[in-house]
Amino acid sequence: MTSELSQHGSTETATFAGGCFWCMVHPFDSYDGVLHVVSGYTGGQTENPTYEEVCSHTTGHREAVQVVFNPQIISYRQLLDIFWQQIDPTDAGGQFFDRGSSYQTAIYYHSEEQRREAEESRDELERSGRFDKPIVTEILPAKPFYPAEGYHQDFYRTNPSHYTRYRQASGRDQFIAAHWGSPRA
């Protein structure tokens, strides 16, 4: 597990693929204890891929976010709960209107403890009956993470009107509202 001492105390890293990374930053970014969230690519074989390469679905990468957090303030389990409430975990073909392998969901664990917690949270969600189809989100070992191009970082802040239109048009907010209540995005 990535763990380091900083001015914020001990930190850890969590990595989540939830479809379009633009839509995954703000939900995590808005919690105390989350120090920063980076949009990027992980899971594939191409080193330092570009957005265009990842969108071609030939690199094996998924759009993802890497979350650096202080576990004294927010737990990994809380981050898992946030993650599940941002995605359709039953969709193996992508997320909402973003289709293809680069938009498939996954939890990338950085330690055996994260793997165990991710599996427990998935199993609890499956047993909850919240969804009428099986959970297909994969739980995989973390691989190298490549930050996306600068214009993708903090997109909800740098392009708020485009971000809002995209979220609404994608169907993500409607899905979240139907399954969890009001989206926090």
Instruction: Indicate which residues carry an active-site annotation.
Output: 20
Nearest to 173 by CA among 184, 162, 163: 184
Q: Are the C-beta atoms of 83 and 118 separated by less than 8 Å? A: no
Give the position of tokens 């969709």: 91
Which residues have C-beta within 8 Å of that of residue 38, sequence separation ≥ 6? 65, 66, 68, 145, 147, 148, 153
Cβ atoms of residues 85 and 126 within 8 Å: no
Q: What angle do CA 35, 9, 142 make, to 5 degrees?
A: 60
CB 15 within 8 A of CB 110: yes
Pick from 22, 48, 49: which is nearest to 37 by CA? 22
